[in-house]
Chains A and B, each alone.
Chain A
């Protein structure tokens, strides 16, 4: 027999005592270490020995526990089983069923769709409002232009209006035509006017008849790109009877309270 075989036989002799628990600490540790090596023969022997040792229980004088013990145990066990069942039930009840997730998803989708629709609708309304506003502004401008044109037409066509020729002091400059209606205002118009330099503009002045009186400033206007000049002054600062002449100067943008340059056009207002 080799060393391994002797070793195994030595432990085999201790197996029953190991199962019984009667080995001292040193022997017990040695057997435990040997079993830990995976020795199949000793492991099987230990299983047999444990079965054998368990039979020693029958050496004890027979006895029976009181029924009260059974009752106490079952009371405890039933309570724990009920608690476990209640817990399981609570868990399952608290779980959200699949159909509810579907409903939640549908509601969320509906809400998102509604939000998208609402946003689209708001955007459409905003654009419509903007278009409407633009249209209204366009209409107002058209109406204003129409009223202006009508007023201008009345001034120009009314036989009571006074025609004032405004000639230029500089040679080659086109002549302007002013028409003054006593209640509708003054229209000054001309063609092919040169564009004032920079941001400068043309400003109309009413020169009073009263000696020493200062020129009264009126509207400003830059000619169109094609040189057309068409100025309507609805509320002149003075009446034709108090005005000696009309003059137009070139002034900085926004006009001036007093002329800062020599008049380019001047036209005498005939006294009535």
Chain B
């Protein structure tokens, strides 16, 4: 289970893809060691990614104690189910963040109608991305800064719509209702905003 970056005809991916086609990512190597019950590999993975995972979960839950519980749950899930990560389908961190987001949203929506929708989504999540990650071209701090800069360029309501979708798991209709904007407008904002983010990251790379 080693993640090897491969080339892609997609311009966005091609720009972000390092030239080495068979390079094994450090994360994939660590996950491989997790399969051998290597505690030091778990420590390394935790030290590398716990901050961004906690940052995301805390933003969603807005409560430190609950956020820590979810982060603990996420990393224990990783320890106990490392084989669920398929390195051939994409880099590790997006997979881990997707797992963390889903767990946090599950917690947020516990026993609600939307919880059921989230569970359906969660079942198909971990297979994240097939190819390159941003780690090959930007370090984490630079990437975080660049993402914030790019999103800050968006219309405030557009930015808010994306945040409601990502951090609170709201649907288009719920966001339209929350922002008192037409549904079509909200859909356009979100898609347009994500495409502009994508273009901005490509340009940065």
Contact = CB atoms under 8 A, between A and B. Distances in A.
B31 interface: no
A109 B67 CA distance: 67
Interface stretch (A52-60, A117-125, A146-154, A159-167): A52-60
A238 interface: no
Contacts of B79: 77, 80
Interface in B128-185: 128-134, 143-144, 147-148, 151, 162-163, 165-167, 169-173, 175
B51 interface: yes
Nearest to A66: B68
B93 A62 contact: no
Interface in A176-190: none
A56 B128 contact: no
A64 to B, nearest CB: 5
Chain B facing A: main interface SS: helix
A13 B191 CA distance: 8
Interface residues of B, number: 68
A70 B46 contact: yes
Contacts of B98: 50, 53-54
A75 B42 CA distance: 12
A47 B65 CA distance: 33
A73 B197 contact: no
A206 to B, nearest CB: 110
Contacts of A48: 10, 12-13, 129, 131, 198
Interface in A10-68: 13, 16-17, 20-25, 28, 32, 44, 47-66
Given A22-B175, A65-B68, A69-B68, A57 B56 contact: yes
Contact of B194 (A20, A63, A74): A20
B52 A58 contact: yes
A72 B8 CA distance: 41
B55 interface: yes
Q: Interface size class for chain A?
A: 35 or more
Contact of B55 (A17, A55, A63): A63
B25 interface: no
Nearest to A13: B191
B97 A62 contact: no
A51 B90 contact: yes
B22 to A, nearest CB: 19
A78 B46 CA distance: 14
Interface string B56-88: 101100000001100110011001100000000
B54 interface: yes
Nearest to B150: A55
B39 A51 contact: no
Given A23-B172, A47-B128, A78 B39 contact: yes
A52 B37 contact: no
Contacts of B198: 48, 52
4 nearest A-B pairs in the assembled complex, by CB-CB distance:
A60-B59, A54-B94, A51-B129, A58-B144
Interface of A: 13, 16-17, 20-25, 28, 32, 44, 47-66, 69-70, 72-74, 76-78, 80-81, 84-85
7 contacts: A22-B175, A47-B90, A55-B201, A58-B144, A69-B50, A74-B43, A74-B46
Given A59-B59, A74-B43, 4 more contacts: A13-B191, A73-B72, A73-B76, A78-B39
